[in-house]
Amino acid sequence: MIPVTKPFLPPRADYEKYLDGIWERNWLTNNGPLVNELELRLKEYLGLDHLLFVSNGTIALQMAIKGLGLKGEIITTPFSYVATTTSIIWEGCQPVFVDILPDRLTINPDLIEEAITSKTSAILATHVYGIPCEVEKIQQIADKHGLKVIYDGAHAFGVKFKGRSIFEYGDISTCSFHATKLFHTIEGGGVFTKDPELLKRMAYLRNFGHDGFEKFNGIGINGKNSEFHSAMGLAVLPYLEKIVQTKASQVQFYKGLLKGLKVTYPKTENIENYNHSYFPILFSSEGNLKRSKQILEMNQIGSRRYFYPGLNGLDYTSGDCSVSDDVSKRILCLPLYHTLTQEEQRMIARLLLRVQNNPDL
């Protein structure tokens, strides 16, 4: 079986050296020393002043919405993972969908203003497959209309724009550190902001609102993470550059193998520190995608319709987003992970070309 992705696991000795300290201290959670060390190391790696390590990427989004005190409508993208939308609804707000750019697949900033109403409080956009949103245009619109900006950066770890971490943009950025992500802590996530007061507010939110043992500062939630998850992050981080380089080479090898395949790719040229988190391909039709996915499955090869369906088509949402509707039906992510071999890539390419050249299969 070739999975669509496979988590990177560092050498066991790298992880176990952190476990020795956990056993000695008997401090397992509640803002332990490894949580603090991971936050420090991540700030150094990403070039950021402020971040919080939290339990997962969904909690990060919910904390961002709660921390900014958002109400009413939040303009967002239909082309993202379901947590982007459900976090908005979970926090009592209403998602308003704006279509995406056909080449970058991120929210189309030229359509945002016409979606703004008197009830709009924020824009929540997603950096898709590591492709940054048009952050400067979005910020100009937000400033003009007095809106907050949140970025779902689950795919964008390490990516930069104009020399700065993509997580520096907007009022708050979030990231998932799930096991399938480029950088992971098994389960986990991060919230990032330039505003120290906003960070302080979210720190209270992360820990039930505790301000000491017998005092509370507002309403909070259990958004903490453990020493064991922090240990995994600390063990993974030193290997990240090598992982990115490996994936970049695999992507180039794929593109060479698939030159005869009638597919296109999202636009990733000129992205600073592009992280090659995924390898999405766009088929000419949904029918071609389904046939290709079927032959891969018949040969025990995983692939993923990521993202399908579009979030504007869920039972509890609505919105006319024709570009996203079309893209979501035609896009497929192929296997991409650190131990994927060239022979496995050749097999995948041969199967895809076979389907194209023999449409009756």
pLDDT per residue as tens, the chain (361 positions): 999 999 999 999 999 999 999 999 999 999 999 999 999 999 999 999 999 999 999 999 999 999 999 999 999 999 999 999 999 999 999 999 999 999 999 999 999 999 999 999 999 999 999 999 999 999 999 999 999 999 999 999 999 999 999 999 999 999 999 999 999 999 999 999 999 999 999 999 999 999 888 899 999 999 999 999 999 999 999 999 999 999 999 999 999 999 999 999 999 999 999 999 999 999 999 999 999 999 999 999 999 999 999 999 998 888 899 999 999 999 999 999 999 999 999 999 999 999 998 877 6
Q: Quote the pLDDT of residue 317.
A: 85
| Alpha-carbon span 4 to 335, nearest angstrom | 4
DSSP, collapsed to helix, strand or coil, labels residue 192 as strand
Q: Quote the pLDDT of residue 361.
A: 65
Amino acid at 48: L
Q: Quote the pLDDT of residue 315.
A: 87
Q: Quote the pLDDT of residue 358.
A: 83
| Alpha-carbon span 63 to 73, nearest angstrom | 17
Length of the chain (residues):
361
Q: Quote the pLDDT of residue 306.
A: 96
| Alpha-carbon span 336 to 72, nearest angstrom | 39
Contacts of 12 (CB under 8 A, 6+ apart): none
* Other beta carbons less than 10 A from residue 44's beta carbon: 10
Domains of the chain: 12-238 (3.40.640.10), 239-357 (3.90.1150.10)
Q: Quote the pLDDT of residue 357.
A: 86
